[in-house]
Amino acid sequence: MTIASDKSLRGTLREKELLAKHTSWRVGGPVKTFYQPADIEDLRLFLSKLEDNEKIYWLGLGSNLLIRDAGFDGTMICTSGVLNGIEVLDGQRLYVEAGVACPKAAKVSAKNALTGAEFLCGIPGTMGGALAMNAGAFGGETWDVVEVVQTVTASGELKTRSPDEYQISYRHVVGPQQEWFVSCVLKLSSGDAKQSQQKIKDLLNKRGASQPTQQPNAGSVFRNPKGDYAARLIESCGLKGTCIGGACVSDKHANFIVNTGTATATDIEELITYVHTQVEKQTGVDLNREVKIVGDR
């Protein structure tokens, strides 16, 4: 029996799914197998049925990610909209599953008079992705507020792990291999709901004023080098507005590349390479890419 005909699975399985529909850049070719699990138990079952050598990639809201035009010859597991459990456990702890959008986690915490997670409103991805890369915004970082995480192994086994089992740094997390985040518990502080909600509103206004939120983008393309900002370096090289095909360096924020409507993944990747090369050539700084590039050329 193939996975496609396995009646024990309750999630949604599609073959040759076009990934442009699932990425914030709105580009990307087809994936061999696309699966949206019904819940964590269904996810465990699905993983247990995959071949040992199957290539697996996890997809949330598709931000911070460039899928190449030829697609991905493996299995893409999409958690967005399905692993969406979120609840206050007690006075200061919030349980959040991997598919919950970070801004939703911020808003739920604020509504329940919990403070410390407001910065999550500025992360355009899911909690699973935020955990995987220690995503941050407005001076806050994901793992600053993590008490415990739950992971799933390639064989479908669930594990509970603490932050001290991971090497965590700026936009970088290293932990046990072949394990993926399915949920976490955030340790927050008691606060004032109205104050937290106003803070989120102010942060979102700040983000909208400084970032091209109305155009398809994947968030920051490069990590900030120590003591400096990637956007400042890119702008200093006169690269704002530079385009390759339908991909352009944003006029609003130089560390964002936008799809003006006709970009291909190749356009975007070539522009990323061009920006990197020019910044290194003109400033001597070797920028580290934040965006993940996946798939076949």
Q: Which residues are known catalytic residues? A: 171, 220, 290
Give the three-class secondary structure for 94.
strand
In order of 15, 43, 102, 145, 279, the CA distances from 35 in angstroms are 9, 9, 21, 30, 39
Nearest CA to 115 among 186, 196, 187, 185? 196
Give the three-class secondary structure for 46.
helix
CB 184 within 8 A of CB 94: no
Q: Interior CA angle at 113 toward 110 and 119, to 5°?
A: 35
Q: Rounded to whole angstroms, how far apart are CA atoms 64 and 126?
A: 11
Rounded to 5 degrees, φ, ψ at 148 are: -160, 155
Rounded to 5 degrees, φ, ψ at 287 are: -70, 140
Phi-psi region of 161 (alpha: psi -120 to 50; beta: other; left: phi over 0): beta
Strands 146-153 and 158-161: antiparallel
What is the 8-class DSSP label of residue 289? Answer: B
- b vs e for 196-212, b when ≥16 Cβ sit within 10 Å of the residue's Cβ? bbebbeebbeebeeebb
In order of 22, 44, 77, 133, 237, the CA distances from 138 in angstroms are 26, 35, 29, 16, 25
